[in-house]
Amino acid sequence: MATVRRRGGDGLRPWAFVVPALLWTVAFFCAPFVVMAAVSLWERVGTDLVASWSFVNYAKFFARPHFLEAMANSLEVTAIVTVLSILLAYPLAWILAERVPERWQRIALICAILPFWTSYVVRSYAWLLVLANNGVINQALTGIGLIDEPLSLANSRTATVIGFVHFFVMLLTLTIYANLKQLPKNYARAAADLGASRFATFVHVILPLTLPGIMVGAFLTFVLCIGDYITPQILGGNSDLVMPQLIMLQIGRRADFPTASALAILLMVVVTLVYIACARWLKLERA
Amino acid sequence: MMTTTMRKSLLAIGTSAIALVAAGPALAAGELNALVWCDHTDPELIRPFEEAHDVRVNLKEYEGTGTALSLVEQSRPGDWDVFVIDGIDVPRAIDAGILGELPEGTAPDTIFPEVALDELQVRDGKRYAVTEKFGYNTVSFNKADVDPAAMEDMTALWKDDTYKGQIAVYDYYLPVIGMVAMGLGKQTADLTEDDLPEIRETLFKLKDNAALVGEVVSSQTAIATGEVDILVGGGEWVTAGLSAENPDLDWILPEQGGVRWSQSIGVFADSERKDLAVEFVKYILSPEAQAKLATSSCYWAMPANAAAGDALTDQQKQALRWDDQPDYLKNAQLYPSPDAELDAKMQDLWAEFLQH
Amino acid sequence: MRRAGGSGLGTAAAVVYAGAIYAFIFLPVVVLVLFSFQDGRFPVPPFRGFSLRWYEALIADRYLTAALVNSVIVALVSSAVAVTLGFLAAFGLARFRLPGAGLQKALIVAPLTVSYLIIGMGLLITFNAIGMPKSLFAAGIGHVVINMPLCFAIVFSQMGAHQANAERAARDLGAREWQVLLLITVPMMGPALFAAFFLSMTFSWDEFIISFLLTRFDVTLPVEIWSMLRSGLNPKTNAAGSLVFFISVALLLVLELAVFGRRRAR
């Protein structure tokens, strides 16, 4: 629908609806961001914070290999997780939308969400138990004689990726499913009538039409994954640190807020760049 | 129809939320805020004090003095009452004006003299903290998979890849840097910036062999569940509490020695409930509480008050190696205690170590 | 009607694939719940027998129950504020032509693209600077920041011409603006508001890092579970996770039945 323009004389009244939300956002989102940006130009010297207004903390990021590595790790893990989750989720979403009888679909979806109603901290911990040397997976594999020595799964980047993929497969299945269900059935039928094989129909009709949905899901995955602290902290074995872990090290162990702020801003810059790259698929639309 | 239902349910939610908020502060008569290591969070230890004084003890646990000071910095004066801190860091806390003076007679006479650390905790005749618990950061291992004799030499952990993938490292830079320094024949008390390159190189070799680096519980979990067989930085605090479940878990002080840690307890200078805080300190140092602290659910270790011996069972004393302490104490050095600048360098080194 | 063309082999492959993914999704939860009943200290195989001792320990843990109450309070109050603010803004932007509407929308949804960690850290530094102590209240503010954009987006996407016409009719009949809003728009937007509130609750209930950074003693449940994890290895953490799971599932079932029931009746 189009915006309803009311007869003149509204005056300031419409603002009354919008201003509370705007004020909240300015006070508790924009202002903290400005404060953080300012603090990132300060410096931690011994136990004191010095307002030195320099780019020392940013220079530190580029000068120290283990800082740069954290960013590389973050990007790598996030990229692997995003791609893997999409690849695993798409077929499932398709099966749910096309192969499962209509009245079971809802139940199937609820079942997919169900395990995520455990607490998020607990979920990572549960994966640690599953992946441990004498955890369920290793015991099962040695039990059936597939391996002799337990696999080192827990406390590694592999564990982090598994923990992430677990959550994002569910999220992406929902997004892609919703997208598939919105496609008019007759598109696929029309393609078939025109002699396209099922594969060709998929590649040339279904996939392009669901691409925007995938992009939205992928971006969501990217943002949530790159900013997450819990999963890598619990599952990653404190090796191959990612940015949130590095940020928390600065805050938690030495109250070095300037360095933490600088790192956070650099992380935001990266997310923003990715957002700009995906922006044309990510418009907020009204139904 | 729907409007009424909606309004009713919103009203109900609102009312119950307000009721809950209003009920919140009315729960406890008095409160005491303590910044502690996780062994103090055992209800067995805290509840008797709470009941005796009709107060609620709020505990915030942390690992590592840096974390504690960071939390203190994020607080306002008067927020905290009791502080449990590494013995070696007490002077730092006194310098920063965090710890307040304790009244005469707070410290029992029965503290093991080797761990009393009065030179750190008493200044100008005023006492600021009392040692409450101590132990060692050395090597813990699983006897079923590792030959105890091989653990006598600490360098075995990093000189080749015999134990690759079998090692976990405790995630606290000071004791582990101290241990590695001792393995390299250095004195923890004399470490300077010039020692760091060699320590760094050794740490990296150790990291190549390590499966993980973990905090108190994750490193305990790793060795208890068979994830790893050796824990560098471990000691009785890891294995004593677990040995009832798995008797193969053991620890050793290698020939190069180990790092001795100790916790001290004191009162915040700007506490607004000093009397109660001092009572709490006295309680923790009492023989009964000392025994509970020594065998707390998070980690076990020797009580600083020798009088606790009467309150411990023989089996508990056995697990704590009560009778071996004189020998152990001789062969252990204190944590390194770097100045702020060296400390920052060590922390950076540790971050590099994690990332390696 | 099922679509034609599903070969037997294809169906089998679909069943196997879906089964494998579902197994993957359920694996940690099954293990979590199973070992919450472990009769022993280690929540890993072998299973030593069935015991409820860790649940007993859980119920006796007053820190945990306090955290549970805190979580409920924060979830309810912050979601109510987030939905209210989000709804008002959506109404304002959908019904009136305001200068810079695009910019306003972008500003309101901007927090969606920023990590919780960064939002929490910004608030922590700011609150430190103005001397505001850490508290449940501070964490609640953070939860509104992360949930309001979501509520706004949901409600805004559902504001259609249909409601606008009803609102206009009400106004023509002499209703005041607040009457229109409360008696026409809110009821018509009921489902969207409910969805927004429900989703906010879920996110607030499960949020860790903001609460971790901004609370001190009055922690929320995820923060309490985090410190449980760091204070000893035992199946009590399993029991806590399982309990949260059972409560959430029960809640979900009740809601599902309520919503389903109403839909049928219509």
pLDDT digits (tens, 9 = 90+) for B86-113: 999 999 899 999 999 999 999 999 999 9
Interface touch A152/B165, C-beta < 8 Å: yes
B352 touches chain A (CB under 8 A): yes
Q: Is the pLDDT of residue A283 over 70?
A: no
Return the higher-pLDDT residue of A253 and B186: B186
Is the pLDDT score of B51 beyond 90? yes
Residues C112-121: tens digit of each pLDDT:
888 999 999 9
Instruction: Determine which of A110-114, B22-26, C3-7, C95-99 has the lowest per-residue pLDDT on average.
Output: B22-26
Same domain, C224 and C238: no
C191 interfacial to chain B (CB closer than 8 Å): no
- The reply to whether residue C230 touches residue B297, judged by beta carbons under 8 angstroms, is no
The tokens for A276 are 């700009």
Q: Which subunits count as partners of chain A given 3+ CB pairs below 8 Å?
A: B, C
CB-CB under 8 Å, C217 with B33: yes
Is A112 near chain B, with CB under 8 Å?
no
Best of B94, B220, B227, B231 to substitute, by most chain A Cβ atoms within 10 angstroms, is B227
Return the pLDDT at C137. 96
**pLDDT of res. C263:** 53
Closest-approach residue (CA) in chain A for C106? A284
pLDDT at B304: 96
Which chain B residues are closer than 8 Å to C198 by Cβ? none
Residue B180 has pLDDT above 50, yes or no: yes
Q: Are residues C141 and C214 in the same domain?
A: yes
Rounded CA gap, C241 and C29, in Å? 9
Contact list, B217 vs chain C (CB under 8 Å): 229-233
Has residue B7 been placed in a domain? no
- The predicted pLDDT at position B293 comes to 96
Quick one: C174 and C79 in the same domain?
Answer: yes
pLDDT value at B177 more than 90: yes
**Statement to judge: residues B164 and B307 lie in one domain:** no
Taking 90 as the threshold, does the pLDDT of residue B40 lie above it?
yes
pLDDT at position A285 over 50 = no
Contact between B118 and B71 under an 8 Å Cβ cutoff? The reply is no
Residue B21 domain-assigned (yes or no):
no
Closest CA to C242 of C58, C95, C102, C32: C32
Task: Report the CATH number at residue C195.
Answer: 1.10.3720.10
Which residue among B6, B14, B20 places its CB closest to the CB of C69?
A: B20
Looking at residue B13, its pLDDT comes to 43
CB atoms within 10 A of CB A14: 18
B344 touches chain A (CB under 8 A): yes
Mutation to test the C interface, candidates B16, B58, B74, B297, most C Cβ within 10 Å: B74
Strand partners, B140: B231, B251
Among the partner-chain residues C14, C85, C98, the one whose CB lies closest to the CB of A95 is C14
Question: How far is it, in rounded angstroms, from Cα A57 to Cα A54?
Answer: 8
Nearest to C245 among A99, A118, A285 (CB): A118
Query: How many angstroms separate the CA atoms of C238 and C225, rounded?
Result: 10
Please count the other Cβ atoms lying within 10 Å of the Cβ belonging to residue B54. Answer: 9
- Rounded to 5°, the CA angle B167-B172-B175 comes to 85
- For A140, the token pair is 């099962």
Torsion of CA B241, B243, B249, B252, to 10 degrees: 60
Q: Looking at residue B340, what is its pLDDT? A: 82
CB B136 within 8 A of CB B261: yes
Return d(Cα B183, Cα B155) in angstroms, integer. Answer: 6
Do C246 and C257 sit in the same domain of this protein? yes
User: Residue B231: what pLDDT?
Assistant: 95
Distance from CA of A65 to the nearest CA of C (A): 23
Rounded CA-CA distance B230/C202 in Å is 41
Give the separation between CA B130 and CA A83, rounded to whole angstroms. Answer: 55
Q: Is B53 exposed, middle or buried (0-12, 13-18, 19+ CB in 10 A)?
A: middle
Q: Pick B69's closest partner by Cβ from A69, A251, A255.
A: A255
Judgement on whether residues C165 and C81 belong to the same structural domain of the protein: yes
Domain-located, residue B90: yes
Would you give the end-to-end CA distance of chain A in angstroms? Answer: 9
Quick one: pLDDT band at residue A182, thresholds 50, 70, 90?
confident
CB contact under 8 A, C60 and B79: no
Helices (H), chain C: 8-36, 53-60, 62-95, 101-109, 116-129, 136-158, 161-172, 177-179, 186-188, 190-206, 209-214, 221-229, 236-265
Residue C45 Cα, gap to closest chain B Cα (Å): 9
C92's CB contacts (< 8 A; 6+ apart) are A14, A15, A16, A17, A18, C98
Between β-strands B167-170 and B82-86, what pairing exists: parallel, antiparallel or unpaired? Answer: unpaired
What residues have CB less than 8 Å from A160, skipping those under 6 apart?
A77, A231, A232, A235, A236, A240, A242
| Residues C159, A105: Cα–Cα separation, whole Å | 27
- Work out the minimum CA distance from B269 to partner chain A, whole angstroms: 18
User: Which chain C residue shows the shortest CA-CA distance from B27?
Assistant: C66
State the amino acid at position B152 in one-letter form.
E
CA B223 to CA B229: how far, in whole Å? 6
> Which of C130, C233, C251 would you mutate first to test chain B, the one with the most B CBs within 10 A?
C233
| Number of domains, chain B | 2
Query: What pLDDT is attached to residue A286?
Result: 38
- Binary contact (C133, B79; C-beta < 8 A): yes
Residue C64 domain-assigned?
A: no
C127 residue type, one letter: F
Shared domain for B102 and B161, answered yes or no, is no
Q: Please tell me the distance in Å from A57's CA to the nearest CA on chain B.
A: 14
Dist CA A160 CA A77 (whole Å): 8
Backbone angles phi, psi at B177, to 5 degrees: -60, -40
Q: How many CB pairs under 8 A join A and B?
A: 79
At C252 the pLDDT is: 78
Q: With 60 as the cut, is the pLDDT of residue A15 above it?
A: yes
CB pairs under 8 A between B and C: 74
Give dist(CA C138, CA A287) in Å, integer.
Answer: 35
Residues B77 and B170 in one domain: no
Question: H-helix or E-strand containing B130?
Answer: strand B129-142
Give the rounded distance of the alpha carbon of B205 from its chain centre: 26
pLDDT, tens digit, 9 for 90 and up, residues B200-254: 999 999 999 999 998 877 888 788 878 899 999 988 888 887 877 788 998 888 9
Q: Does B253 share its domain with B349? A: yes
Q: What is the rounded average pLDDT of the residues C217-230? A: 88
Backbone dihedral region of B64: left (phi > 0), alpha (psi from -120 to 50 degrees) or beta? left
Structure tokens given for A238: 């404190």
Structural domain for B43, as ranges: 29-134+261-326
The verdict on C179 touching B (C-beta cutoff 8 Å) is no
Kindly indicate whether the domain formed by A64-281 is annotated with CATH number 3.40.50.720.
no
C225 close to C236: Cβ distance less than 8 angstroms: no
Report chain B's mean pLDDT, rounded to a whole number. Answer: 88
Task: Using only the alpha carbons of chain C, give its radius of gyration.
Answer: 23
A251, pLDDT greater than 80 = yes
Which chain B residues are within 8 Å of C61, Cβ to Cβ? 43
Kindly list the residues from chain C whose CB atom is less than 8 angstroms away from the CB atom of residue B20: 69, 72-73
Is the residue at C59 inside a domain?
Answer: no
C128 and C36 housed in the same domain: no
- What whole-number distance in Å separates Cα of residue C198 and Cα of residue B40? 38
Looking at the structure of chain C, the number of domains it has is: 2
pTM: 0.87
Q: Are residues C149 and C104 in the same domain?
A: yes
- Give how far B291 is from chain A: nearest CA, Å: 30
Interface contact B69, partner A, CB < 8 A? yes
Confirm whether B6 is domain-assigned: no
User: What angle is formed at CA B37 by the lines to CA B33 and CA B40, rounded to 5 degrees?
Assistant: 65
**B74–C131 CB contact, under 8 Å:** no
CB A271 within 8 A of CB C115: yes
Q: Which of A48-57, A211-220, A267-276, B272-281 has the highest mean pLDDT?
A: B272-281
Q: Using CB atoms, which residue from B16, B58, B74 is nearest to C217?
A: B58
Q: Is A237 within 8 Å of B211 when comparing Cβ atoms?
A: yes
Do C3 and A198 contact (CB within 8 A), yes or no? no
- Is residue B149 domain-shared with residue B125, that is, in the same domain? no
B211 to chain A: which residues are within 8 Å by CB?
152, 155-156, 237
Q: Would an 8 Å CB–CB cutoff place B223 in contact with chain C?
A: no
Residue C61 lies in a domain: no
Q: Is B349 on the interface with A (CB under 8 A)?
A: no
| C102 and C171 within one domain | yes
3-class DSSP state of A47: coil
Does residue B67 register a pLDDT over 90?
no
Question: pLDDT of A20-34, one tens digit each?
Answer: 999 999 999 999 999
CA closest to B170 among chain A residues: A238
Closest CA to B331 of B131, B206, B162, B154: B154
- Residue C232's pLDDT band (cuts 50, 70, 90): low
Min mean pLDDT across A3-12, A74-83, A195-204 is at A3-12
C227 contacts in chain B (CB < 8 Å): 38, 41, 61
Average the pLDDT over C33-43 and give the result. 88
Q: What is the DSSP pairing of strand B230-234 with strand B167-170? A: parallel
- Express each pLDDT in C144-178 by its tens digit: 999 999 999 999 988 877 788 888 888 888 888 88
Q: Where are the domains of chain A?
A: 64-281
pLDDT value for A282: 63
Kindly tell me if the per-residue pLDDT of B16 is higher than 50: no
Do residues A119 and C75 make contact, with C-beta atoms less than 8 angstroms apart?
Answer: no
Say if CB A231 and CB A164 are below 8 A apart: yes
Measuring CA to CA, how many Å separate A16 from each of A19, A23, C90, C177? 6, 11, 12, 11
Q: CB-CB: which of B213, B218, B227 is closest to A133?
A: B227
pLDDT over 60 (residue C2): no
Average pLDDT over residues A166-188: 88
Take residue C104 and report the two structure tokens written for it. Answer: 């306003």
Contact B70 A249 (CB under 8 A): no
pLDDT above 90 for B17: no
Same domain, B351 and B295: no
Instruction: Tell me the residue type at C91.
Output: F
Question: Given CB atoms, is B192 within the 8 Å cutoff of chain A?
Answer: no
Classify residue B103 by its DSSP letter.
P
B96 contacts chain A (CB < 8 A): yes
Contacts of C135 in chain B (CB under 8 A): none
pLDDT above 90 covers a percentage of chain C that reads: 48
C225 and C236 co-located in one domain: no
Contact C73 B224 (CB under 8 A): no
CB-based contact A249 B211, cutoff 8 Å: no
Q: How far is A59 from chain B (nearest CA, A)?
A: 15
Whether B346 shows a pLDDT value over 70: the answer reads: yes
Mean residue pLDDT of chain C comes to 87
Instruction: Report the pLDDT averaged over residues A205-224.
Output: 87
Residue B178, domain CATH: 3.40.190.10
Beta bridge partners of B134: B262, B302
Closest by Cβ to B20, choosing from C73, C134, C186: C73
Q: What is the pLDDT of residue C4?
A: 44
Distances (CA, A) of A48 to A44, A228, B67, B89: 6, 29, 15, 18
Are the beta carbons of B66 and A237 separated by less than 8 Å? no
Residues C203 and C224 in one domain: yes
How far apart (Å, rounded) are the C-alpha atoms in residues A105 and A121? 29
Do B168 and B226 fall within a single domain?
Answer: yes
Domain that holds residue C156: 69-230
Is residue C132 included in any domain, yes or no? yes
Kindly write down the DSSP assignment for every residue of A69-105, as one continuous string: HHHHHHHHHHHHHHHHHHHHHHHHHHIIIIIS-HHHH
CB atoms within 10 A of CB C66: 18
Please, which pLDDT band fits residue C214 given cuts at 50, 70 and 90? very high
Beta-bridge mates of residue B263? B86, B133
- Closest chain A C-alpha to C155 CA, distance in angstroms: 10
How far, CA to CA in Å, does B205 sit from each of A159, A241, B181?
A: 23, 18, 14
User: Do B244 and B148 lie in a common domain?
Assistant: yes
Residue B209 lies in a domain: yes
